[in-house]
Every structure is written in C-alpha cells, then in structure tokens.
C-alpha cells in the first residue's frame, strides 16, 4: 500500500512549540520519520553548534534567530526566513549566534 494511503495528515499550528532546547546541544524532534522523508525541527542556544558532517540531500528553513551554517567549507549567515538546500554528501554544520530554530527536510 502506498505511503499516502497509510500516513495521516499532520498539522502543527506552531511548529516552534515542538522544539526542545538541550543543555548540550540540539535535541531534534521528528515531525515526519518515514523511509522516503524525514522532517525535523531543532533549536540551538547561543554558542551551541552542530559539528560539520556529511549528509543526504536536505532543505533547511530557519524559523527564528541568527547563526552561521557551513556547507562544504562555505559559510552562510542565516536568519529567520533563510533557506539553504544542501546537495547529497555535502558536509554541513551550524552554530547559533542567538537562539536559533530551524526545520530540516531530508530524503
């Protein structure tokens, strides 16, 4: 049976309320965790970071705050409303300047 037949519609009136800030770094919360698509929301406190690591094709959308995202050694200043699409296998990481909340969708 196709995934569209088995998955229910999910609605988040305020996805920011799903964020859990950890003392030691992000605690990603999966909004969708299926074989074909993973969508998560995560938050970083000022000064926290996600070390650079290779990953699959992904889209990052920043909901709140400011920070820097690194993709293959190139740095991008991100703020609320910024979107970054990273290619398959690209090394990426980020650090928060202020409290930072983002969505990530991965295939």
Model's pTM, two decimal places? 0.90
Residue 89 has pLDDT above 60, yes or no: yes
Q: What is the pLDDT of residue 6?
A: 73
- Determine the average pLDDT of the residues in 37-64: 96
Cα distance between residue 45 and residue 97, in whole Å: 8
pLDDT class for 3, splitting at 50, 70, 90? Answer: low
Q: What is the pLDDT of residue 92?
A: 96
Domains of the chain by start residue, with CATH: 26-106 (2.60.120.10)
Residue 9 has pLDDT above 50, yes or no: yes
Q: What is the pLDDT of residue 1?
A: 44
Cα distance between residue 41 and residue 60, in whole Å: 10
Asked whether the beta carbons of 77 and 65 are under 8 A apart, the reply is: no
Residue 29 has pLDDT above 90, yes or no: yes
């Amino acid at each position: 049976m196709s995934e569209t037949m088995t998955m229910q519609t999910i609605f988040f009136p305020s996805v920011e309320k799903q964020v859990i800030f950890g003392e030691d770094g992000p605690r990603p919360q999966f909004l969708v965790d299926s074989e074909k698509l993973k969508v998560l929301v995560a938050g970083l406190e000022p000064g926290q970071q996600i070390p650079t690591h290779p990953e699959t094709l992904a889209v990052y959308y920043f909901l709140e705050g400011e920070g820097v995202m690194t993709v293959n050694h190139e740095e991008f200043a991100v703020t609320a409303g910024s979107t970054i699409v990273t290619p398959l296998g690209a090394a990426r990481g980020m650090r928060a300047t202020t409290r930072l909340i983002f969505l990530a969708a991965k295939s």
